[in-house]
């Protein structure tokens, strides 16, 4: 699918990042959430936020293509893509690639942080903490 340049988006969607640990049982306060553009031409930092005591960031508004694109023929994607990096001292950093943002909706990105251990050299995580979202999210 073709994606418009983020500077050409004429609508917007919202994003809240919800950070926890222990498989979602304990909210993580003070995690640093960095939002970057998901397009190669626009991959710079858009904003940096911190989670509150409930583990959530504030709701931010991000540019997105208009919802009408989902009904139009062609290869233009009806969503914008953004990349997220979540960091908190004492936890492994998590990266999310191609998080979809749709016009007129609030996307909630759940993040489960895994504490670092003194045995960090022995891999307890099957990957490096990077998650690539589905290239074609269900509409």
d(CA 37, CA 44): 6
Q: Specify the pTM.
A: 0.78
Enumerate domains of the chain plus CATH numbers. 6-132 (2.60.40.10)
The predicted pLDDT at position 1 comes to 42
High-pLDDT (> 70) share of the chain, %: 71
Phi and psi torsions of 38, nearest 5°: -95, -5
* Contact status, residue 76 vs residue 65, Cβ threshold 8 Å: yes
* Contact status, residue 114 vs residue 23, Cβ threshold 8 Å: no
Q: Name the pLDDT band for 49 (thresholds 50, 70, 90).
A: very high
End-to-end CA distance of the chain: 14
Q: What is the pLDDT of residues 53-82, one digit of tens each?
A: 999 999 999 999 988 766 556 667 789 999
Neighbours of 12 (CB within 10 A): 17
Q: Name the pLDDT band for 2 (thresholds 50, 70, 90).
A: very low
Q: What is the pLDDT of residues 79-95, one digit of tens each?
A: 999 999 999 999 999 99
């Amino acid at each position: 699918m073709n994606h418009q340049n983020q500077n050409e988006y004429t609508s917007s969607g919202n994003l809240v990042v919800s950070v926890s640990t222990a498989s979602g049982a304990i909210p993580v306060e003070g995690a640093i959430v960095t939002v970057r553009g998901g397009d190669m031409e626009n991959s710079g930092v858009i904003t940096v936020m911190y989670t509150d005591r409930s583990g959530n960031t504030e709701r931010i508004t991000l540019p997105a293509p208009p919802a009408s694109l989902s009904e139009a023929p062609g290869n233009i994607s009806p969503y914008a893509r953004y990349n997220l990096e979540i960091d908190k001292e004492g936890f492994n950093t998590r990266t999310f690639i191609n998080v979809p943002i749709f016009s007129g909706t609030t996307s909630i990105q759940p993040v489960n942080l895994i504490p670092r251990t003194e045995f960090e050299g022995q891999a307890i995580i099957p990957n490096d903490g990077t998650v690539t979202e589905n290239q074609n999210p269900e509409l």
